[in-house]
Amino acid sequence: MSYTAEVLRNAIEKSPNEPEFHQAMTEVLPTLQPYLDRHPKYERAGILERLVEPERTIIFRIPWMDDAGKVCVNRGYRVQFSSAIGPYKGGLRFHPSVSLSIIKFLGFEQIFKNSLTGLPIGGGKGGSDFDPKGKSDREVMAFCQSFVNELHRYVGGNADVPAGDIGVGAREIGYMYGQYKRLTGLCDGPLTGKGISYGGSLVRTEATGYGLVYLTEKMLESLHTSFEGKQLSISGSGNVAIYAAEKAIQLGAKVVTMSDSNGFIHAPDGIDVNIVKTIKEEKRGRICEYLEYAKNAEYHDGGLIWSVPCDVALPCATQNELDAIGARALIDNGCIAVAEGSNMSTTIDAVDMLQHSGVFYAPGKASNAGGVAVSALEMAQNSARRYWSFRRVDESLQKIMHSIYTNISEIAERFGAEGNLVAGASIAGFRKVADAMLQQGVV
C-alpha cells in the first residue's frame, strides 16, 4: 500500500463519522504520491500523518437569549489545523449544517490554500450551527458576543485570525470584533473582514469573487479565449457569487444564473448584479425577489442550475453543490471551464467526469484563495497601522491569483499531470508547509 493510501486509511478509521473531511483528504492525498516518491524525507518525518491531525480542536457551548426571552444553545468550533507557516487563518461559518466534519474539511483545505497565496498564514476554520437567517440584529449580536466570550481565549493577531464565511459577513464580524476588544482591551487585528472605519481593508468584500475571476481569466487565456461574450452560470448569491458576477460582467461576460438555497434565477439576457446586491446585501431577501425588479428573468424553485447552458460555470454556494448529474449537464451543453468559488463545490466523481471530458477545472483551494489573500493584506495593513488604496490592494490580488495559476499549472506539468490543477494545487501547497515542518523539528 502506498504511503498516501495508508495515511488516508488510518485517518478515516480514526475519525469515522466525518464524510466531508474524508472527501477533502481523498481529493488531496493521492495527488501527492508522485512528489512523495521523489522525496522520501517527508515520509520518514511523518509529515502527512501530522498534517491530517489538527494541532488543536476547540468545541464549546454558546448560550444566548432570543427576542422572546428564551435561552438558546448552539455549538461552536475552532479547528487550528496547522501553524507551520504562520498564524492560523480561516473563516467562521454560521449555518445549521455546521459539524466537526465540515469544519475539519474546510480547515484542511485552508492549509493548502493559504500556502498557495505565498503569504505567511497557517490553516484553521471555525463556526457554529447557529442560523443567522430570520434573526433580528439584536439576536445576531447576542449570539456573536457569546461566541466570542469563549473564542477570544484562542485568537489574536499573532495566533489565530478568523474571518467570514457562509452566514458571517460585515455585521457579524463587527459584533465579534467589538466583543473581543471589550474582553481583551486589545486592537491587535484578531479578525479580518472588518469595516473600513476600524481597520478593514479595501477590496476585502470583493476579494474572493474578484480573485476567482482573475484566476479563471488565466484559465481561459490558456484556452486561447477570454470572458468577452461568454455565458456564465454562477450559483449562490452571497458574497462570493455577487463579486464574481460583478467582475466577470466588467470583463464582458454575461451572467445568466444565480441562486440561493431555495431556487435559481435564469436571465438569458444577463443578470443585473446591482439588483442582486440590493436584494441580498440591503434587504437580506431571497433571490426569487429578482423578478420584482426585472422582467427578463424566470425563477426555478429548486431544479438543476447546471442544466442552463453556459460556457463557464462558477459554483459559489456550498460544498458538493456540483455532482455527477450537474457535471453531465455542463459537459453535454459544451461548458469549457469550471472554477470553484465555494470550497469543495464539486463531488469527486464529478471532478473525474469534468477532467475526463476535457472541461478545464480549478479546485477551490486555488481559485477562491483571493479572500484569504486580501485578509493577509489586511493583517499587514493593521500591523503597519496603514491603509492601502483600492487600486493597490486590487493589483496585489490580481498578481497573487495570476501567480497561483502559473505556479500550479507549472507544477502539474512537472509531475506528469499537465492541465490537472487539482494535482498542481495540492503539490504546490504541500511543499512549502512540509518544508517548514521539517525545519521546525517534531512539533
Nearest-CB residue to ligand NDP? 238
Closest CA to 240 of 212, 269, 276, 268: 212
For ligand NDP, which residue of 164, 190, 424, 429 counts as binding (CB under 6 A)?
164
Question: Cβ contacts of residue 48 below 8 Å, gap of 6+?
Answer: 3, 4, 7, 29, 32, 36, 42
Q: Quick one: 313 exposed, middle or buried, by C-beta within 10 A (0-12, 13-18, 19+)? A: buried
Task: Please count the residues of this chain forming the interface with ligand NDP, following the rule CB under 6 A.
Answer: 22
Residue 317 as a binder of ligand NDP (CB under 6 A): the answer is yes
Residue 181 or 277 having the CB closest to ligand NDP? 277
Write down the residue that cell numbers 466537526 correspond to. 100
Residue 36 or 103 having the CB closest to ligand NDP? 103
Distance in Å from the first CA to the final CA of the chain = 27
- From 16-24, 47-55, 225-233, 338-346, span contacting ligand NDP (CB under 6 A): 338-346
DSSP string covering 59-89, please? EEEEEEE-TTS-EEEEEEEEEEEE-SSSSEE
Helix or strand run (H / E) with residue 267: none
Residue 18 or 165 having the CB closest to ligand NDP? 165
Residue 47 or 267 having the CB closest to ligand NDP? 267
For ligand NDP, which residue of 239, 367, 409, 420 counts as binding (CB under 6 A)?
239
CA triple 228-404-240, angle to 5 deg? 60
Residue 211 as a binder of ligand NDP (CB under 6 A): the answer is no
Residue 230 designated active-site? no
Residue 315 as a binder of ligand NDP (CB under 6 A): the answer is no
Of 125, 194, 280, 365, the active-site residue reads: 125
- From 32-40, 230-238, 268-276, 384-392, span contacting ligand NDP (CB under 6 A): 230-238
- Provide the residue count of the chain: 443
CB of 197 to ligand NDP, least distance (A): 20
* Cα 361 to Cα 403: distance, rounded to the nearest angstrom: 17
Residue 237 or 346 having the CB closest to ligand NDP? 237
CB of 430 to ligand NDP, least distance (A): 19
For ligand NDP, which residue of 192, 233, 237, 347 counts as binding (CB under 6 A)?
237
Which grid cell is 174? 463587527
CB of 9 to ligand NDP, least distance (A): 27
Residue 240 as a binder of ligand NDP (CB under 6 A): the answer is yes
Residue 102 or 411 having the CB closest to ligand NDP? 102
DSSP string covering 109-178, please? HHHHHHHHTTSS-EEEEEEES---TT--HHHHHHHHHHHHHHHTTT-BTTTEEEE-BTTB-HHHHHHHHH
Write down the residue that cell numbers 422572546 correspond to. 68
Give the binding site for ligand NDP (CB under 6 A): 164-167, 208, 236-241, 260-262, 316-318, 341-343, 368, 371
Active site residues: 125
